[in-house]
């Protein structure tokens, strides 16, 4: 079985401050990890992924995430948040196999205030 | 432009009625997926298909049916057996690679289904 936990329903930060969205995962085997963002009434957009290699992954819009195997975490970060980063963020995981099924977390709503 | 088109944007279902949500992609992707999104619950997988004429149940397939007669199309039918169909439905597709180096999902803009 595979699962993802996003422990915070909401994250509020001031523009210009660092932004962190937390994600922990549980899988049997080595994980593929993803972050997606959803703007209001829209589909999800891919931000970044970790497959293998460097634990620090850089993605779209200045976001990055760090894979920590010992803590089974994949937290999303941005050094300086923008108001336009306000959205719903989803972490997702699957194992390395021929099964392409992703498991998503419940999502974290990020609000960046001006 | 390449992408995924879902229609309609809004759909209303009457008691006992089956309704079908359309999903078309022109990305030449082999795999297609249907997810259901409820507030506070994230996305839950309903069905997925990795090849034409084949599909697998996801975590919440009861009350739903799909078909995959063409690579480009993966319609979802919400049957009368689905007692709580009100949700936002998202279709997605992905390229299938053996090495797993390009597995990001591309999503449509969604269909909001409500019960009258």
Q: Which of A44, A48, A65, A99 to mutate to test the interface with B (most CBs of B within 10 A)?
A: A44
B15, with CB counted inside 10 A (0-12, 13-18, 19+), is: exposed
Q: Which residues of B touch A32 (CB under 8 A)?
A: 100, 103
Tens-digit pLDDT string for chain A (114 aa): 788 999 999 999 999 999 999 999 998 888 899 999 998 877 899 999 998 888 999 999 999 999 999 999 999 999 999 999 999 999 999 886 656 778 899 999 999 999
Give the model confidence (pLDDT) of A65-96 as tens digits: 999 999 999 999 999 999 999 999 999 998 86
**Mean pLDDT for all residues in chain B:** 91
Closest-CA residue to A78 (of A55, A31, A46, A110): A110
CB contact under 8 A, A32 and B100: yes
Residues 11-40 of A with CB under 8 A from B: 32, 34, 36
Best mutation target among A100, A104, A108 (most B Cβ atoms within 10 Å) is: A100
Question: Is B68 within 8 Å of B53 (Cβ atoms)?
Answer: yes
Say whether residue A53 is in contact with chain B using an 8 A CB cutoff.
Answer: no
Cis ω for the linkage preceding B8 (within 30 of 0): yes
Reported as half-sphere exposure (CB side, CA atoms, 13 A), residue B64 has a value of: 27
Residue B103 pLDDT exceeds 80: no
Instruction: Report the alpha-carbon distance of residue A73 to residue A69 in Å, rounded.
Output: 7
- Out of A44, A96, A100, the one facing B50 most closely (by C-beta) is A100
Query: Quick check: B27 contacting A, CB < 8 Å?
Result: no
Pairing between strand A87-95 and A31-38?
antiparallel
Instruction: Check residue A43 and give its pLDDT.
Output: 81
Q: Which two tokens stand for residue A7?
A: 């422990």
**Quick check: B30 and B81 in contact, CB under 8 A?**
no
């Amino acid at each position: 079985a595979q699962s993802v936990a996003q422990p915070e329903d909401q994250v509020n930060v001031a523009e210009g401050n660092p932004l962190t969205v937390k994600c922990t995962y549980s899988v049997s085997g080595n994980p593929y990890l993803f972050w997606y963002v959803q703007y209001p009434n829209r589909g999800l957009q891919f931000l970044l992924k970790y497959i293998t290699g460097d634990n620090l992954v850089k993605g779209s819009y200045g976001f990055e995430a760090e894979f920590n195997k010992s803590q089974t975490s994949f937290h999303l970060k941005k050094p300086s948040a923008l108001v336009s980063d306000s959205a719903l963020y989803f972490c997702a995981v699957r194992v390395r196999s021929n099964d392409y099924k992703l498991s998503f977390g419940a999502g974290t709503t990020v609000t960046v205030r001006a | 432009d390449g992408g995924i088109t879902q229609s309609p944007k809004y759909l209303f279902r009457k008691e006992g009625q089956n309704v079908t949500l359309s999903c078309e992609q022109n990305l030449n992707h082999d795999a297609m997926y249907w997810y259901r999104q409820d507030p506070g619950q994230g996305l839950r997988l309903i069905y997925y298909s990795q090849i034409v004429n084949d599909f697998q149940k996801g975590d919440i397939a009861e009350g739903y049916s799909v078909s995959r007669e063409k690579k480009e199309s993966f319609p979802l039918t919400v049957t009368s057996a689905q007692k709580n169909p009100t949700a936002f439905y998202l279709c997605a597709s992905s390229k299938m690679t053996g090495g797993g180096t390009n597995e990001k999902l591309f999503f449509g803009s969604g269909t909001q289904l409500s019960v009258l």
